[in-house]
Structure 1
Amino acid sequence: MNQPLPFDFTSQPAQRVDDLPLIVDSFAGGGGASTGIEMALGRPVDVAINHDPVALQMHEANHPTTRHLTVNIHGQTYAITDIGMRMLTPREQFRAQGFPGSYIIDRGADGRVMPKTQQTHKCGNSVSPNVAAALVAVNCGHLRGKPTS
């Protein structure tokens, strides 16, 4: 059920026709991020992108108002990674995951600069700190404040 998105594609880059920011789940596999975003913001993700049509079918079953995007070229399915909107910066990606603004993402402990592609990769492989904190609080709350020998 792909409803028209509230965008004006005649302007470049494309703009929303309302005042809400565009929400894109670029790794819409099982839908966990989209579900969490909807829980937090009270509105669904606007666009979900994944290379796996089966994953998008499951995502669409759970998020029917979200636009789901892939493209098929000569029988090969590809994810659409440029829909006329700017990509999130690595800092925005980490902030969306729940990392604090002070979290160091642009260099390693040895001071070597980390390129943006690596920053994005590390964000994609990270666990949301808020989810980790909630799981630990529920399952290991009895350990809070105990010394670590």
Structure 2
Amino acid sequence: MRSNQSVARRSAVLAVGLAALLAMPVGSAAAVAAQPAPSSVAVVAAAPVVASPGTQENYQYDGVRLQMSATGGTAPYAWSAANLPVGLTINPSTGLISGLLRGSGTRTVTVTARDAAGATGSTAFVWRVIRDACPRC
């Protein structure tokens, strides 16, 4: 007998709670509070975008200073370059390509910037070095 009363009491409490929930107006603070909290969203910065300097053309034995630039990502950037003309190097901290051109020919250079988060961006461009017909004239 005791269990029948317990079941009846639980059913009554459940019915009252359900009635209160159904009677709540749509959009009330209680209904909003009952919704689960949104999960946190991690914001990820976009990878760096390296600006193309366009086609470069110099004479053999020219001194060169070409500053590379990038936008986006998380500064600072670590710079690297592949297939630079002979005599040129890139500063890994600043992105400055400099040196004295020693060889001649046409190369496709790829410059890459790696940001502090490890994301990379790169650009490729043509660098033409013309052999001077009379370098000592």
TM-score between the two structures when normalised by the length of structure 2: 0.20
TM-score between the two structures when normalised by the length of structure 1: 0.19
Higher relative contact order (CA 8 A, sep 6+): 2
Judging by fraction of residues, say which structure has more helix: 1
Q: Which has the larger radius of gyration?
A: 2
